[in-house]
Amino acid sequence: MIVIGADTHKRTHMLCAVDAGTGQLRGDRQIAATEAGHLEGVRFGCALDDERVWAIEDCRQVSRRLEQALLAAGERVVRVAPSMMGASRRGEREPGKSDQIDALAVARAVVKDGAERFPAAHLDEQAMEIRLLHDHREDLVGERTRVQNRLRWHLLALCPEVEHSLRPRALNLVFHLDRIDRRLRRLPTSARARVAREQLAQIRSLTRRIDALEDELRVMLAAHRPRLLAELGCGTLTAATLVGRTAGAERFATDAQFARQAGVAPIPVSSGERQRHRLHRGGDRQLNRALHTIAITRARLDPASRAYIERRIKEGRTRREALRCLKRHLARRFHRLLADSDEPSDRDKVIVTTPPASTPCLI
């Protein structure tokens, strides 16, 4: 069996095949990032070994077409996080950086930990659509924030009393935009006032596009994963983050793999008689943020979640540690929801043993 590591780029991909048992190089090939090049890569792998695993660095935009071609050809593909590839490269005896070194690092990272420890590649086109729209909305929100900041500087010079009366995020509301527009129209004509009115119109336009995208995402999520929107603390944008960043829950064989990807799997840091775990700072931080949003919302509004956190605190954990425990259980639940599975696992049934009233929230 061989593992073929791929270092992907916009125009070319570097492939390095290593023995799955020893990590020794079996062959390498540079292919074009085209359909013909992808076919050449499949032939390269078939010529080396009948049993093979493709390991691709998880750079979604540049690796997507290669991943699609390999899956269409019936190949087994796993995704390798860039951080793991970097750690593997630092362990190599050969210094420096090149496409071949990077492809070898990807392959040997899989050899070291085993292919079953990595999420399998899974193409969920609907999830990709949701992620692209959500990311586009985030870009528009960032652009609107920059325009709002520039407008506030102009207002500080034109009418400081109006600027001082604006609370954070006030410029997201039509009421405040109308008030500022009326005030600007009463000012004498000047370059600064003209620029401020243009920025005001730009904010209005961006706000309409942002709201329209959120409405579109809500409709897509209702059709794709309607059960997510019914969960306490999981609104449209949080659900879009979970669906888009997970990119198909089927690629995670267990909820533990999903929790590791989301950065909510605790890391043991015990020593002697002291048994404890610390925060995992790896994984997908956007997924982690989505689960954190749900956890703090439930900790505030859901009696069962509050009871669970209080029970963990009585066991000797800090409030932060108790919240991390809740996030880990939420990862188990949302992995099942994202996979659209109706069957609870045995572990789901024993998340909370007391009080019984807390069970529905956490399983």
Q: Which of 43-47, 116-120, 292-296, 331-335 has the lowest mean pLDDT?
A: 116-120
How large is the angle between the packed helices 303-314 and 319-338, nearest 10 degrees?
130
**What's the mean pLDDT in 232-239?**
94
- pLDDT number for residue 35: 92
Question: Is the predicted pLDDT of residue 77 greater than 80, yes or no?
Answer: yes
Question: Is the predicted pLDDT of residue 122 greater than 80, yes or no?
Answer: no
Give 221's pLDDT tier (boundaries 50, 70, 90). Answer: very high
- pLDDT number for residue 52: 92
Give 89's pLDDT tier (boundaries 50, 70, 90). Answer: low
Alpha helices in the chain (DSSP H): 35-48, 60-72, 82-90, 99-113, 125-158, 160-165, 174-185, 191-224, 226-229, 236-246, 255-262, 285-301, 303-314, 319-338, 346-349, 359-362
Question: Is the predicted pLDDT of residue 286 greater than 80, yes or no?
Answer: yes
Higher-confidence residue of 85 and 347: namely 85
CATH hierarchy code of domain 2-117:
3.30.420.10
Give 64's pLDDT tier (boundaries 50, 70, 90). Answer: confident
- pLDDT number for residue 355: 34
Question: Is the predicted pLDDT of residue 104 greater than 70, yes or no?
Answer: yes
Q: Give 39's Cβ-side CA count (13 Å radius).
A: 3
The domain segmentation of the chain, as residue ranges, is 2-117, 125-224, 236-362
**What's the mean pLDDT in 127-140?**
94
Question: Is the predicted pLDDT of residue 357 greater than 60, yes or no?
Answer: no
Report the C-alpha dihedral over residues 221, 227, 231, 237, rounded to 10 degrees. Answer: -10
**Spatial separation of the C-alpha atoms in residues 262 and 287, rounded to whole Å:** 5
Question: Is the predicted pLDDT of residue 96 greater than 70, yes or no?
Answer: no
Q: Which residue, 85, 43, 48, is CA-closest to 63?
A: 85
Q: What is the pLDDT of residues 301-344, one digit of tens each?
A: 999 999 999 999 998 888 988 998 999 999 999 999 998 755 44
- pLDDT number for residue 95: 62
**What's the mean pLDDT in 289-293?**
95
- pLDDT number for residue 121: 76
**What's the mean pLDDT in 175-191?**
93
The residue count for the chain: 363
Q: What is the pLDDT of residues 6-55, one digit of tens each?
A: 988 889 999 999 998 888 899 999 999 999 999 999 999 999 989 999 99
Q: Which residue, 86, 117, 111, is CA-closest to 22?
A: 111
Whether pTM exceeds 0.85: no
What's the mean per-residue pLDDT of the chain? 85
